Structure 1
Amino acid sequence: MSINIDRYAKLISSLLMLVLMFFADFSVMATHIRAGQITVERISPSSLTYRITFVGFRDSESGVEFGNGILNFGDGTIIETVPSQFIVQPLPQVPFLQKVTFEIDHTYQAPGFYNISYTEQNRNNFIRNINGGNSVEIPFHVESQILIDPFLGVNSTPQLLIDPLDFATGDKFFIHNPGAFDAEGDSLSYKFVIPKQGTGTNVPNYIGLDNPDLYANFPPYDKEDGTSPPEFSLDPITGDLVWDAPPNVDEFEYNVAFIIEEWRKVNGEYIRIGFVTRDMQIIVRESDNERPELIIPEDTCITAGTTLSLNPAATATDPDGDSVKIEAFGGPFEISNPAEYSPNPPVWQAPVAELDFEWSTNCFNIRESPWQVVFKVSDRPFRNGGSTLLPSLVDFKTWNITVVGPPPNINDVFPVSARSIQINWDDYECDNRIVSGFQIWRRVDSNPFEPGSCDVGMPEGTGYELIDVANENETDYLDDDNGLGLSPGAKYCYRIVAVFRDPQGGESYVSNEVCTTVLAEAPVLTEVSVLETDPANGEISVEWLPPFDLTDPSFPPPYNYKLYRHSGFNGGNGRTLVYEGDQTSFVDTGIDTENQPYHYQVELYDSNDNFVDTSSYASSVYLDIFSGLDQLTLSWTADVPWSNLIDTFPYHRIYRNNVDPNNPDQLVLIDSVNVTANGFNYTDSGEFNNTPLVDSIEYCYVVRTAGSYGNSDIPEPLLNFSQEACSFLSDSIPPCPPLELTINNLEVGECEDFLFNQPCDFSNYFNELSWDPELEEECAEDVRLYNVYFSKSGDEGTFSIVGTTREPNFTHLDLDEFAGCYYITAVDRSGNESEPSNVVCRDNCPYYELPNVFTPNGDGFNDTFEAYSNQQSDFSKCPRFVESVDFKVFNSHGKEVFTYASGNEKSILINWNGESNSGQVLNPGVYYYIAIVRFRVLDPAKKEREYKGWVHLLE
């Protein structure tokens, strides 16, 4: 490898001149530090002892050793390093560079975040993007952070397996990867930072490698393929640092820094628990060498306990025909059951290099984030008959291997009673030290899917519901639907997923499916279907089957039934008996099917009128519509004991009006949805009959579902219709603002009249609003509802929504006073909101009155001086809307004898007992007072009033 001798001769000459000028030691201003980083590793499970490792690169020709730097442990402990503490490794392929390593153990006294840093003079000179190339005077500083927290478990920083110094060729694509590995399986991310010269201090005049100024004197300004501008990026997930391409100038150095952040998943949330800063150097040289080409495997998953073997795993060739070498780095090579690759150590191969890989995994390798294997290929470009070695070029590629937990195995499922099922599974093959529990999944009727490779946990769209999580030591579970009981006659199917402890985390493959059927010893609901959609006269058809598995002779037939209706999807809301008799069907009428669903339950009674059992709940299908600019999206829901997601009847039908021009109100079948593949959603974009939807037309829909209990004794499919739901296409134009908003109750003077007969502690205030519904025609048709906004003060920015209404009026109830301001807005069917209406305000009518006589003689009557209150029957004198009272009493000579200020537990009523401030009983006589009373009102002129008067203190 050739060395630029002239350049170093000039450098040494410059340094000697500095020595003569400043009479300083050579080592003070010498050029040496090129790159470095700090990593931290927990080495004691019982104490807070960590091994701190600094890795750096220096110029071997500078004559300056690493040392005399400051290592700060972040806990107040600082040491000065000496050269003898550093291990030096020469780099035979690069004679003027050396790798140096320094390790030290340190014990922390308490949990917390610690920033560990290393600072030393000086960086090497001529780093082009630091201080205009005059970088020799700039200190080198790197830092890493670690969180010590016993509640989060053991933590070490990421370990960086690939050195922080690399070579690039001008005008050629460059890539670097740090080969980061986290022993605890925490997630890593990458981002750029500016290199530092001290804690919190960036190096001066730093130019990023994506800054055009960097290329100003080195045309052409482009990538390797000739396109512009150059690209400099850092992949936040893989850590690939790409520079496409450096300027083609011989022997220029550039420094770049980035941090590798460490994230731990805690209670489902990721928190940052540390980082490592890499300050690396890229040395750019001129060369006509071409970069080698590397081929690696596709990302893969492997079940823990099996062996992953690829022969070869990676291959490489070189466009110039040079020999190449493949190296592998990453977490799989750093653990107790390490992966192996060969040849190892790597060797130069031509014309094709191959690397074999083998890893015998175990359960302790399971984790949510993939293991990364970083492959690095280098070429050895000899020219001139082997006498000249050009700068080597490299390429990096990352292979992700996810180690997945094996599936649990369910060995038995059977009914324990008419409402419960027992599930048993085998002992799990992975140690329960890494297993946090087992998810129990259930669905009605079978879905015999097989998970694909890397499809861990329960895939979406399978119809399975997570019902519970058993602990890591359990191998059985009793399902009684949390005490509510399972549905009679239903076929229930179960699967289990193992969940692994943080920080590794992750889920296993899903288990086998095992099913069983609950006996139908109670009525079985089979239909809850909307017949008529109306806000007041809606109709729902309900049907059920008798208990065909009931054989208990203590409950003889014939049977009678009580059918109960509830509002909403489930629970006990609004329980109403709607039918009693021996029939197994009923049409429920006179209900609001337009705005809400209903659910039903049947009670069973024997021939002696003894209660036997109840059916499960089953709801009607409720359809929602979401408007778009040129499409309408339907979404429907039903809470039923059967499954509406079945392979045998996967299609739900979509009906819509405005299809037949001769009968636009008729609902016509326009499409069907395979809900097993697409879920309970459908988007109508006007594809039926190739007729686009029109924004001025209201479209109405009904959905028919198809379901099954998975029981051959129950006919299928179970067909149920939703209510009819209607909508327009959305638009982006807001409606016109409402007009002439008024407050109707309590005109001027009526506030006092209203309160005349109300007790002093009255607090049930209200305001009645109304506005003109007659908007311009094109606006009125577009209004769906009104929003009502309120503010106690009326100040801008203090209004908030207090209600919505479809009518041009609104009563604001449950107020503690009248005072406040309102405005309203109109909202159209697309959710666009108008500008505000006019603002109207209502004020309080404050009142406060003090008496002239009191007798503090202890007879229990008129013993204290206080404002008129509920003690009197005359409510016209009640204090109203009083915020605070400041009260002072003076004797006939003008001397202040008593003061009082309301607040905290002190009442606005004052309650003066006739004593002075010092507790002295005052003599009978006439005293004078001043009371400053502040009221809760909007009118500034009425907020404060001064009352002056006299009071006669009698014996």
Structure 2
Amino acid sequence: MKQLFLSSLFLLANLSMLWATHNRAGEITYRQTGPLSIEATIVTYTKISGQSVHADRTELDLSWGDGTSSTVSRDYFVMLHQDIRMNVYTATHSYPGPNPGGQPYVMGMQDPNRNADILNVNNGNSVNVAFYVQTEVFLFPTSIYGNNNSPILLEPPIDFGVVGQVFQHTPNGYDPDGDSVAYELVTCLSDLNNPVPGFLPVNAIGPGANNTYTFDQQTGLFTWNTPQVAGEYNIAILVKSYRNGAYLGGIIRDIQIEIRNAQNTPPELQVPEEICVEAGELIDFDAIALDSDIPVQPITLTATGGPLELTNGAATFSNTTGFTPVSSRFRWQTNCDHIQQQAWQVVFKARDSLMTNNGLDASLATFKVLRIKVVAPAVQNLQSTVSPGQVDLSWDAPYLCESSAGFLGFSVWRKSSCDNTELDSCTVGLPGLGYTQINFGALVTTVGASGNYEFVDPNVQSGGIYSYRVLPEFATPVPGTNNFLGPVSGRSSAELCVQMAQDLPLMTNADVESTDLANGDILVRWAKPRATELDTNFTVPPYRYELFRSEGQNGANFLSTPIFSSTNFNSYSALADTLSFLDTGLNTEENAYSYRVAFYANGDTVGATSLASSIYLTVNATDQTNELVWTENVPWTNTQYVVFLETPTGSNSYTVLDTVSSPTYVHEELENGETYCYYVESIGSYGIPDVFSPLLNKSQRACGSPLDTLAPCPPIAVAALSGCEAFDDDSDKENRGLCEGFIREQTDMANTISWQRPTDSCGLDIAAYRLYFAPYCDSTAYELVAEITDLSDTFFIHQPANYNLAGCYYVTTVDSVEANGGGNESVPSTVVQSDNCPFYELPNVFTPNNDNANDFFGPCLPSRYIEAVDFRVFNRWGQEVFRTEDPAINWDGKDQQTGQDLAEDVYYYTCKLQINCMDCDKVAPLKGVIHLIRNAR
């Protein structure tokens, strides 16, 4: 027997060798080949020395994420470095339909195991940890969205470093569809969404102030400053793609870092970090790598990136190896097809070539990520022709990039002032400049009769000053469709300023003079037309004004009759420069009002002004804060707002709080429950010579009382200790004999929930904790089970029922009900789960002899969480003699069919259990023998 046992160990050891110690790194990518079909590529990087030679995989199993899997044969392998081999496997697959429920199919490949001695995996015992990579697949109707291919990862996932020197790496993802790429540092996996055991960040090995790392989510650059312990480490990076802001899935790439003990410093790399060019410009520079180590080492200078992968107008760069300094020329003649929303990325890598005395690679690499923005050039020669009520715009045709497949047309933008702002050559669009698009949804795409591009703006006002800009609009075409992704504007045209003829009055004021529910006042004022633009030869006196009012700021309810009519003025000189009217009896506390003036000459209507509304102020009260927001609708431009506070409240005396440029203001550090009152005064102008400036207009008075409406932060570090764990018994003791030991009954068990008070400032005003429970984790059945007001009590013992511990808990915090107007409850904490621990054990003997000792057969120890059984007893001939569903059984040794005592003998039983449990290990069906003894002594 001893020899057999040793032979078994030897066999197990050899099986372990066959499945062990080879996977270093890898990923899965795919390209879509049809509406529901893809070609997947698995790339693994493996160790081949030592026992790893036994683990070579000519085939791998790939789960497609739809319930099916395939065995994928290896296409080829390539030796990359000493003891590092790249293996490539490809396979095709057709999915049964589009993504179910909008969720991705998750392809996954698991292979036992990782190579040995990865320091940050399972305490270095990585040889017993499976290697797993996964990739999300999104499929869309190809006639609308085109194919969706995963990003291509241009940098291999194996890199080297040296103790005490900075280490860098990036996957350098390039999406051939033109989708944008982002990165996230994640945990290495051993199975689907299952992290490897004992995973640690790399700086947890030899921790300290000189051992830190950073990660750039935009470029994927991982920088470790600096490794302290030699050995192998693994990290994982999720490479994510997005289309028009929508997530298209990600690749989890597993990466291995080999850190050596050596005397080496990383090369220096001289390349620009950002370049911005107009489409059509040439990018031309030398990348230079330098190394100061003695003796000198060869340096390999390489570049990877989207511009080098293009089929149309690709960039050029020659990878080269030599001694310091090493240089190579990057050259890219950009064109209009290179215009896209995201910047192009090129990763330059300079790697030296130090080998240790024992032949290990101790090279170091320096990465520089160059981001290149290719912008669409501006339109040229924007001009205007002004006529009454209309501005005709035109600009040069042809436009430089109009033949590009990504060209969509031109957008036209306007604002009611001119400021001669000069935009940076790399600025696209009109960020924060106050322009509004006036041809939204109808881009200019055709050339007019003049031979230039043309656009007519009919929505202009007499006397107005306008600034126009035109933007070229682009997007990346989706192959095989008429659709586009990643819309992006080009450079703006130069600003074009236009002043309209002032042949109508100009509104200048809608100024709230008093605030009241029924007796509020608004002062309305307007300026007369200009004589030189009125053309008094045709527009002859007498002149007259009529003022109309509408409730609200958009002029939707103008009254049919004027609220004011002026006298007739028999000459232009009789018109005052400005005329005003005090509108009274208004509900200025609850409403804003808008106004316009109609102008008449010789009894005929010349026209009406654009509307001008009063400013309406709203105060939103929160915890110790009043947030002021105001709106207006006026034909002039307000550039500043002065915020006034009534001091003290009710005094009608005001002080200036601040002057701001946007229509919002936050008043902080206030007393909750106190009332604060405000008004706002705008400062504006038409920017027209001879028109009074500045134009000052007040809002109504508005008040607010700060109130604590902000919920505190939820508790942190929430944990559940189930009753099965909290109260030890002998149920799991390895050496416990049958029917021996102490078994705790289910009625004695309870769950212990613990948590920590949140440490953020949003946890300062907590008044109580609330604990919620849902039996069996039913999300619709959560009930409040406890409210704890002693904040030092951060645990609670809960017994949901004496027959059930299974369920889910979460904890919330509540701020003070009495102070600050509180009673706000936080969002739920992390949900934690507790479960039942079934126990059921039967003896193998009983003595039904009516001596009141062991007369009935049943569980010999307290059973737990057993709802029912299917218990059957058979005699030695296989005939059933007893059956019950009662967990207590209580068999008296009689034949259930005849009621007669059964003879002493050995009987056989089976017992299927119906247990009360969610996720715990199920109790296996029981079977065994029963010794029925009647003459026991």
Superposition TM-score, scaled by structure 2 size: 0.63
Contact 1:328–1:341, Cα closer than 8 Å, also in 2: no
Partner SS state of residue 322, structure 2: coil
Residues 752-786 of structure 1, C-alpha deviations (whole Å, 9 max, x = no match): xxxxxxxxxxxxxxxxxxxxxxxxxxxxxxxxxxx
Is 1:444 aligned to residue 416 of structure 2?
Answer: yes
Identity of aligned residues (%): 28
Residues 63-100 of structure 1, C-alpha deviations (whole Å, 9 max, x = no match): 35431212344566644234xx4322223xx3322222
Amino acid at match of 1:222: P
Question: Who is 2:592 aligned against?
Answer: 597
Is 1:286 aligned to residue 252 of structure 2?
Answer: no
**Structure 1: distance between partners of 2:674 and 2:131:** 69
Is 1:510 aligned to residue 484 of structure 2?
Answer: no
Contact 2:621–2:706, Cα closer than 8 Å, also in 1: yes
Is 1:100 aligned to residue 87 of structure 2?
Answer: yes
Contact 2:161–2:257, Cα closer than 8 Å, also in 1: yes
Shift of 1:409: 3.5
After TM superposition, the structure 1 = structure 2 runs for residues 690-729 of structure 1, keeping only pairs within 5 Å, are: 701=679, 703-708=681-686, 710-712=687-689, 715-723=691-699, 725=701
Equivalent of 1:581, from 566, 578, 584? 566
Amino acid at match of 1:598: Y
Distance 1:530 1:473, change over 3 A: same
**Structure 1: distance between partners of 2:258 and 2:218:** 25
Equivalent of 2:347, from 374, 393, 398? 374
Shift of 1:564: 0.7
Contact 2:641–2:680, Cα closer than 8 Å, also in 1: no
Shift of 1:665: 5.3
Partner SS state of residue 11, structure 2: helix
Is 1:56 aligned to residue 44 of structure 2?
Answer: yes
**Structure 1: distance between partners of 2:583 and 2:241:** 60
Equivalent of 2:471, from 497, 515, 521? 497
Distance 1:70 1:181, change over 3 A: same
Question: Who is 1:560 aligned against?
Answer: 544
Shift of 1:440: 2.1
**Structure 1: distance between partners of 2:464 and 2:63:** 67
Amino acid at match of 1:99: M
Partner SS state of residue 468, structure 1: coil
Question: Who is 2:602 aligned against?
Answer: 607
Give the aligned CA root-mean-square deviation in angstroms.
4.3
Equivalent of 1:41, from 7, 31, 49? 31
Count of aligned residue pairs for this structure pair: 676
Question: Who is 2:239 aligned against?
Answer: 260
Amino acid at match of 1:89: V
Contact 2:410–2:473, Cα closer than 8 Å, also in 1: yes
**Structure 2: distance between partners of 1:730 and 1:310:** 59
Distance 1:122 1:68, change over 3 A: farther
Question: Who is 1:277 aligned against?
Answer: 252
Shift of 1:287: 2.1
**Structure 2: distance between partners of 1:407 and 1:671:** 43
Amino acid at match of 1:558: P
**Structure 1: distance between partners of 2:612 and 2:300:** 67
Is 1:165 aligned to residue 138 of structure 2?
Answer: no
**Structure 1: distance between partners of 2:417 and 2:636:** 8
Distance 1:582 1:467, change over 3 A: farther
**Structure 1: distance between partners of 2:668 and 2:696:** 25
**Structure 2: distance between partners of 1:305 and 1:701:** 53
Residues 636-674 of structure 1, C-alpha deviations (whole Å, 9 max, x = no match): 5431112234xxxxx666667659xxx985667x6985x
Is 1:304 aligned to residue 279 of structure 2?
Answer: yes
Question: Who is 1:89 aligned against?
Answer: 78
Partner SS state of residue 380, structure 1: coil
Distance 1:121 1:296, change over 3 A: same
**Structure 2: distance between partners of 1:237 and 1:586:** 58
Shift of 1:466: 5.4
Question: Who is 2:182 aligned against?
Answer: 189
Is 1:178 aligned to residue 171 of structure 2?
Answer: yes
Question: Who is 1:543 aligned against?
Answer: 525
Amino acid at match of 1:715: V
Is 1:207 aligned to residue 174 of structure 2?
Answer: no
Question: Who is 1:80 aligned against?
Answer: 71
Contact 1:601–1:617, Cα closer than 8 Å, also in 2: yes
Residues 934-955 of structure 1, C-alpha deviations (whole Å, 9 max, x = no match): xxxxxxxxxxxxxxxxxxxxxx
Distance 1:210 1:383, change over 3 A: closer
Residues 435-458 of structure 1, C-alpha deviations (whole Å, 9 max, x = no match): 344332111232221211432211
Equivalent of 1:408, from 354, 374, 379? 379
Distance 1:615 1:423, change over 3 A: farther
Is 1:363 aligned to residue 336 of structure 2?
Answer: yes
Residues 688-710 of structure 1, C-alpha deviations (whole Å, 9 max, x = no match): xxxx99998966555252311x4
Superposition TM-score, scaled by structure 1 size: 0.62
Question: Who is 1:858 aligned against?
Answer: none
Contact 2:390–2:457, Cα closer than 8 Å, also in 1: yes
Contact 1:695–1:728, Cα closer than 8 Å, also in 2: no
Shift of 1:394: 2.0
Amino acid at match of 1:644: N
Partner SS state of residue 281, structure 1: strand
Distance 1:183 1:832, change over 3 A: farther
Question: Who is 2:553 aligned against?
Answer: 569
Partner SS state of residue 81, structure 1: strand
Amino acid at match of 1:370: A
Structure 1 residue ranges without an equivalent (≥5): 1-15, 216-220, 646-650, 687-691, 735-795, 798-830, 837-955
Shift of 1:24: 7.0
Is 1:334 aligned to residue 319 of structure 2?
Answer: no
Distance 1:499 1:390, change over 3 A: same
Contact 1:166–1:283, Cα closer than 8 Å, also in 2: yes
Structure 2 residue ranges without an equivalent (≥5): 1-5, 448-452, 476-483, 569-578, 711-782, 785-818, 825-937
Amino acid at match of 1:723: S
Question: Who is 1:888 aligned against?
Answer: none
Residues 719-761 of structure 1, C-alpha deviations (whole Å, 9 max, x = no match): 2321363658958699xxxxxxxxxxxxxxxxxxxxxxxxxxx
Equivalent of 2:462, from 488, 499, 512? 488
After TM superposition, the structure 1 = structure 2 runs for residues 444-463 of structure 1, keeping only pairs within 5 Å, are: 444-462=416-434
Contact 1:322–1:382, Cα closer than 8 Å, also in 2: no
**Structure 1: distance between partners of 2:87 and 2:109:** 14
Residues 383-431 of structure 1, C-alpha deviations (whole Å, 9 max, x = no match): 88xx977611223232222222222336332245425655556444324
**Structure 2: distance between partners of 1:694 and 1:194:** 45
Contact 2:273–2:368, Cα closer than 8 Å, also in 1: no
Residues 272-331 of structure 1, C-alpha deviations (whole Å, 9 max, x = no match): 21211212222333223233344542433222221223334x544446674443322221
**Structure 1: distance between partners of 2:500 and 2:389:** 6
Contact 1:302–1:404, Cα closer than 8 Å, also in 2: yes
Contact 1:168–1:283, Cα closer than 8 Å, also in 2: yes
Equivalent of 2:106, from 115, 134, 146? 115
Amino acid at match of 1:80: T
Distance 1:315 1:539, change over 3 A: farther
Shift of 1:263: 1.7
After TM superposition, the structure 1 = structure 2 runs for residues 641-790 of structure 1, keeping only pairs within 5 Å, are: 641-645=635-639, 673=659, 678-680=661-663, 701=679, 703-708=681-686, 710-712=687-689, 715-723=691-699, 725=701
Contact 1:488–1:518, Cα closer than 8 Å, also in 2: yes
Shift of 1:117: 3.4
**Structure 1: distance between partners of 2:820 and 2:314:** 60
Residues 226-247 of structure 1, C-alpha deviations (whole Å, 9 max, x = no match): 54xx445644332223444545
Question: Who is 1:764 aligned against?
Answer: none
Partner SS state of residue 564, structure 1: strand
